[in-house]
């Protein structure tokens, strides 16, 4: 058996619990494919995507204004397991509020997006002591990133209420297919306010946001949770042929083909 075939045989089947929203799921899969050290079809990962956009809104649930998405998230995780997944990734930050229930139902490893992003931030040089968080109100209120970063001695800076509402408006617009300059401007303005408040890195803590933000988009490093999750999947999924390895050192946002790493 060739080295490539041996490596492929050791890889885990990746399940993607998606649909929140569909465009963010597509962005995650595109980044996973682009970042995989592959030279032919057979070098890529076996990926099963369950993209169910009918899963109830996570922010509405956390704020007490909508139904609990846990049953739908659990059902999706179980479908992935039945389909043969060995590992699950969820390209939706707000869904991680319900991560414990998903893990109990799945019985297989489920990656923690906030933990992966916090670990990536701690590897920046110099490591930031304060990071600004752009995310849904559910993710902010649940403290997912606060816990992950504070465990590493990093403080999370939140937008003020006015800027948080602009971020939510931008997220809703992106979900509706608007990736235009007005949406980009709202997100950029919120990030700039966080930098003025002392943030030395910006976390794109909603998987819609990387669709309108790139690595050169701010004066400080920008951490793209979607890209970081894709890299974590590649790391956890198994071995790849040595001859086709590419550097995985960058964790900052990219749009399209990988851009140069920008650190300040």
Task: Supply the DSSP symbol for 242.
Answer: G
Task: Tally Cβ neighbours within 10 Å of residue 181.
Answer: 9
The alpha carbon of 55 is separated from its chain's Cα centroid by a whole number of angstroms, namely: 18
Helix 161-175 × helix 181-196 angle, to 10°? 150
User: What residues are labeled active site?
Assistant: 92, 206
In the chain, the DSSP E strands lie at 14-18, 47-51, 87-89, 130-134, 155-157, 202-204, 222-224
- Of 215, 192, 210, nearest to 262 (Cα)? 215
3-class secondary structure per residue, 2-19: CHHHHHHHHCCCEEEEEC
């Amino acid at each position: 058996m060739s080295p490539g075939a041996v490596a492929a045989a050791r890889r885990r089947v990746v399940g993607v619990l998606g649909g929140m929203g569909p465009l963010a799921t597509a962005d995650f899969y595109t980044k996973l494919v682009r970042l995989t050290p592959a030279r032919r079809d057979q070098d890529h990962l076996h990926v099963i995507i369950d993209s169910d956009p009918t899963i109830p809104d996570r922010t509405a649930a956390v704020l007490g204004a909508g139904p609990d998405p846990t049953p739908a998230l659990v059902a999706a995780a179980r479908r992935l397991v039945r389909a043969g997944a060995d590992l699950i990734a969820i390209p939706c930050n707000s869904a991680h509020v319900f991560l414990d229930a998903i893990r109990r139902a799945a019985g297989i490893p489920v990656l923690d997006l906030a933990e992966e992003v916090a670990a990536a931030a701690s590897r920046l040089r110099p490591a930031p002591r304060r990071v600004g968080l752009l995310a849904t109100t559910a993710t902010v209120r649940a403290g997912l990133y606060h816990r992950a970063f504070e465990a590493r001695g990093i403080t999370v800076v939140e937008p003020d209420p006015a800027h948080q509402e602009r971020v939510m408006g931008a997220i809703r617009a992106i979900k509706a297919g608007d990736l235009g300059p007005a949406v980009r401007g709202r997100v950029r303005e919120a990030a700039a306010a966080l930098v003025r408040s002392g943030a030395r890195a910006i976390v794109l803590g909603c998987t819609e946001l990387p669709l309108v933000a790139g690595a050169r988009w701010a004066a400080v490093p920008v951490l793209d949770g979607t890209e970081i999750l894709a890299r974590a999947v590649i790391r956890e999924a198994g071995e790849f042929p040595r001859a086709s390895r590419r550097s995985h050192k960058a964790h900052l946002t990219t749009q399209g083909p990988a851009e140069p790493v920008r650190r300040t």
